[in-house]
Amino acid sequence: MELSIRPYRSDDWEDLYEICVRTGDNGADASSLYPDPRILPDIFVGPYLALEPELAFVVADAADAADAADGADGEGGDRALGYILGTADTRRFVARYRDEWLPKVVDRYPDDGGRGSELRRPEVMLSPIADAYPAHLHIDLMPQAQGRGFGRRLMDTYLAALRERGVDAVHLAMGAANVSARAFYDRLGFSELARPVPGLVVMGRSTRL
């Protein structure tokens, strides 16, 4: 399968939602964990695509893209198999999330003390870390795109976009149980910054390493 990295397009939306769900349990499929698994991408994908689509990049099936351009019946047609997305300014993002994104989705999910409550409380993203490391990101790859260097290439693409915007540092949050993700971030120069709650690790790095 020939893959390439390109900017996000609006017709990638559902592909990225599916990737988020299929990797949402520490890299494994989270489809069975929630009554409506779309709550995961409504927290971790949708607001970024809606508010800062210029900072979203995808790994796509380049062969399918060529088939589509030639008018062939390529299965899936330029199907996204991975993504990186985020914000250049976490504090500004949280304000826009509450004002612009939350009203569109909040009525779909109960305030149940779990993900439904997380959806309603974007302020948990705000801490002194967000001042020192103002950008943050989410990255996920389907198995077809793993082990081929695309995670690093997505990260390089995203960090370059942050540098163009004058952003000096970025952070991310990950499940402490996701050992393979931790090894990946360690290799890319991320350092552990905090463990704000059990099971969650926050890591960060300069955009210029």
Q: Once rounded to an integer, what is the mean pLDDT over residues 142-168?
A: 96
Query: In CATH, which superfamily holds the domain spanning 3-172?
Result: Gcn5-related N-acetyltransferase (GNAT) (3.40.630.30)
Distance CA 13, CA 11 (A): 5
Q: Which of 37, 176, 31, 23 is nearest to 115 (CA)?
A: 37
Q: Which residue has the higher pLDDT, 170 or 147?
A: 170
Contacts with 54 (C-beta within 8 Å, 6 or more apart), sequence order: 7, 161
Would you say 82 and 141 are in contact if contact means Cβ atoms under 8 Å apart? yes
- H/E element holding 17? helix 13-22
Distance CA 78, CA 59 (A): 9
Is the pLDDT at 186 greater than 60? The verdict is yes
Distance CA 64, CA 147 (A): 20
77-98 residue pLDDT tens? 689 999 999 999 999 999 999 9
Q: Which two tokens stand for residue 105?
A: 């989705």
What predicted TM-score, i.e. pTM, was given to this entire model? 0.91
Q: Which of 93, 95, 90, 118 is nearest to 106 (CA)?
A: 118
19-45 residue pLDDT tens? 999 999 988 999 999 999 999 999 999
Distance CA 143, CA 130 (A): 31
